């Protein structure tokens, strides 16, 4: 199933990876992020996931596609082969506006890898991620840190090992103390948030869980009992 949404003003013109193969640095970053994701979601069997800003090839989602019940993929453009998969809902267009097309409390895992730093409205995106999660679900966010800014710009602008256009599209960077307040404002409880540095301190990774649904209330006692 595929749907589309018009781009927000100032949005990206293409998806990550749409214009060519990923560089070695990019592939290493994707692999490290995937390793971190699997620490928090050991099995994707039967889950519904949303990969937000997944990239043209949706590299991570493609790997788990045979295991998930449904994958909602969101980016400016997506590989037609992915859109044709029976368990994929493709939503093409600019973030965060396209997240409005995802039903409330409809996904188990929301993934947002190296995306928030490209958005003018990161808070709105995080608010939407909290909205679409089911009770017991988890939101996993990876962003470059301020230390990572130096490495990424060296790789892109000086060494030519990363696409310069991607770095020029960055709006900000996030250390744990920058990201944590946004997650709380989105509605995640502090006790359900884990934020830490990873990739040698070049990235910040957050795992935010939604409390599971509580047990149904006890049935009130029938009236007219013994007095």
Least confident of 10-14, 74-78, 82-86, 149-153: 10-14
Query: pLDDT grade, residue 3 (50/70/90)?
Result: very low
What is the tens place of the pLDDT at every residue in 81-132?
A: 999 999 999 999 999 999 999 999 999 999 999 999 999 999 999 999 999 9
What is the tens place of the pLDDT at every residue in 19-53?
A: 666 665 566 566 667 778 989 999 999 999 999 99
Measured between its terminal Cα atoms, the distance across the chain in Å is: 61
Query: pLDDT grade, residue 18 (50/70/90)?
Result: low
The pTM (predicted TM-score) of the whole model is: 0.85
Is the per-residue pLDDT at 203 higher than 90? yes
Is the domain covering 14-70+104-209 a CATH 3.30.830.10 domain?
A: no
d(Cα 195, Cα 22) in Å, to the nearest integer? 27
User: What are the domain boundaries of the chain?
Assistant: 14-70+104-209
């Amino acid at each position: 199933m595929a749907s589309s949404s018009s781009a927000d003003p100032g949005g990206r013109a293409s998806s990550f990876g749409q214009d060519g193969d990923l560089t070695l640095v990019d592939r290493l970053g994707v692999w490290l992020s995937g390793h971190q994701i699997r620490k928090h979601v050991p099995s994707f069997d039967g889950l519904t996931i949303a990969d937000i800003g997944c990239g043209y090839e949706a590299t991570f989602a493609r790997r788990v596609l045979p295991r998930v019940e449904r994958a909602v993929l969101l980016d400016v453009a997506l590989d037609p082969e992915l859109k044709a998969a029976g368990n994929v809902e493709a939503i093409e267009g600019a973030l965060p506006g396209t997240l409005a097309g995802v039903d409330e409390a409809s996904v188990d895992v929301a993934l947002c890898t190296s995306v928030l730093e490209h958005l003018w409205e990161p808070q709105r995106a995080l608010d939407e991620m909290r909205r679409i999660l089911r009770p017991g679900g988890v939101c996993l966010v990876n962003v470059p840190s301020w230390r990572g800014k130096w490495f990424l710009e060296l790789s892109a602008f000086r060494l030519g090992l990363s696409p310069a256009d991607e770095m020029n599209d960055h709006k900000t960077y996030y250390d744990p103390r920058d990201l944590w307040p946004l997650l709380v404002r989105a509605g995640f409880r502090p006790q359900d948030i884990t934020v830490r540095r990873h990739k040698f301190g070049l990235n910040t990774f957050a795992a935010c869980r939604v409390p599971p649904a509580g047990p149904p209330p006890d049935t009130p006692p029938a009236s007219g009992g013994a007095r």
